[in-house]
Amino acid sequence: MDALLTALADPARWRLVRLLAERPRPVGVLAQLAEARQPQTTKHLQTLERAGIVTSQRTGQRRIYALQPAPLRDLATALNRLADTADQIGGSRATYDRYELSLRAERLAAEESGWADGRSFRFHRSLPGSPELVWRHLTEASLLARWWTPDDLRVSELAFEARPGGRVVQEYRDAEDSDGSDLVAGRAEGVVRDVRPGERLSYRLSPVLPDGSIAFTAHVDLGLKPTDTGTNLDVHWRITDSTVDSADFIAGIEIGFGQSLDKLLAALAADPNDTDSADTRRAK
C-alpha cells in the first residue's frame, strides 16, 4: 500500500494513470498527451509498474502500457473504510464537528471580559450504585482519575481534598501521550466549598491559561439522591470571571463534561465489586 500511495502521489504519474484508464497506450503517445519528455515518461511508467499499478508488453518496436484496476480498487476500499470509521455516527469526528460549531459561536461572543458571566450548564445522570459509592467516585483521586476527563484524554495530575477549603487540581493530556512529550491539553485549579458526604459536593474550578492567569471560574454543585436502582446525580455549572480567552474552554463544557459523566456511569456499571462493598457499608 505504501508503494502504491508513493507512486500515485506524483502529479505527473497521476496524469499517466488517468490516461491509461481510458485505454492502453504506447510510451511515445503517453509522453505527447502528458506534454512531457519520453525519457521522463518512461521512468514514471517504470515506477508505476513496480508498484503494480500498470503492466506493459512489447509489440514490435513499441512498449504498450495498460492500467491494472485491482490495486486501485483495493486502495479505494481501504480509503472507504477509513472514511466510514471517521464518519461513524456518534464517533470522535462527530464530536469534533460539534465542538467546532460551538467554538465558532463562543469566539464570536467573547468580545470583552465578563462576556459569559452568569452562563450555566446542567447535567443529569441516573447512576448504578448507592450514593456512598458514587460519592467515592466523586472525591477519591484514584477513582476520579478513571472518569474525570473527556474522551481521548487522561489525567496526568490530580488532587481533590474533600473538605471545605480543600485544594483541587486537575491536569490532563492526550490519552496516547504516554511519555508526556506533547503539550498539556488542559489544567485547572480550585477549592472545595461544601462537603456533605453522600448528598452534596460543591467546588470552584478555574482553567489556567499558559501565562498562569485564569480563563474563568466555574462554580460546580453536585447533588446526590438515592433511588430504587442507584443514585440520581444532578450537576450545575455556573460561570463567573470570564475572560476573552475563555471562549475555547467554555465551548467544550457541555460536550466534555457530558463525556466525563458518561465515563463515570460506565465505571460504576463495570465494577460490581465496588457496588457490593458499598452496599455492605450501607447495611452496617
Helix or strand holding residue 164 (H, E) = none
Q: Is the dihedral of CA 107, 109, 113, 116 positive or negative?
A: negative
Distance CA 185, CA 45 (A): 47
Q: What residues have CB less than 8 Å from 231, skipping those under 6 apart?
A: 126, 127, 128, 129, 130, 131, 133, 134, 224, 225
CA 204 to chain CA centroid, nearest Å: 26
pLDDT at 174: 94
- Of the chain, the end-to-end C-alpha distance in Å amounts to 63
- What ranges in 128-184 are assigned the alpha helix state H? 131-139, 141-147
DSSP annotation of 254: H
- Common-topology check for domains 2-86 and 92-283: no
Q: CATH: 1.10.3720.10, 1.10.8.870, 3.40.50.800, 1.10.10.10. Which one for 2-86? A: 1.10.10.10
Euclidean distance between CA atoms 77 and 261, whole angstroms: 37
Question: What is the average pLDDT value for the chain, to the nearest integer?
Answer: 93
pLDDT at 135 over 60: yes
Phi, psi at 24, each rounded to 5°: -60, 145
Q: Is 89 helix (H, G, I), strand (E, B) or coil?
A: coil
Taking the CA atoms of the chain, what radius of gyration do you get in angstroms?
29
Measured in degrees and rounded to the nearest 5, phi and psi for residue 128 equal -75, 150
**Cell numbers standing for residue 90:** 456518534
Domain residue ranges of the chain, discontinuous segments joined by +: 2-86, 92-283
Taking residue 183's Cβ as centre, other Cβ atoms within 10 Å add up to 10
Q: What is the pLDDT of residues 65-100, one digit of tens each?
A: 999 999 999 999 999 999 888 887 777 888 889 999
| Amino acid 61: pLDDT | 87
Taking residues 193-206, what's their average pLDDT? Answer: 98
State mean pLDDT over 257-261. 96
- Does the structure show a pLDDT above 70 at 278? no
Instruction: Let me know if domain 92-283 sits in CATH 3.30.530.20.
Output: yes
Amino acid type, 178: S
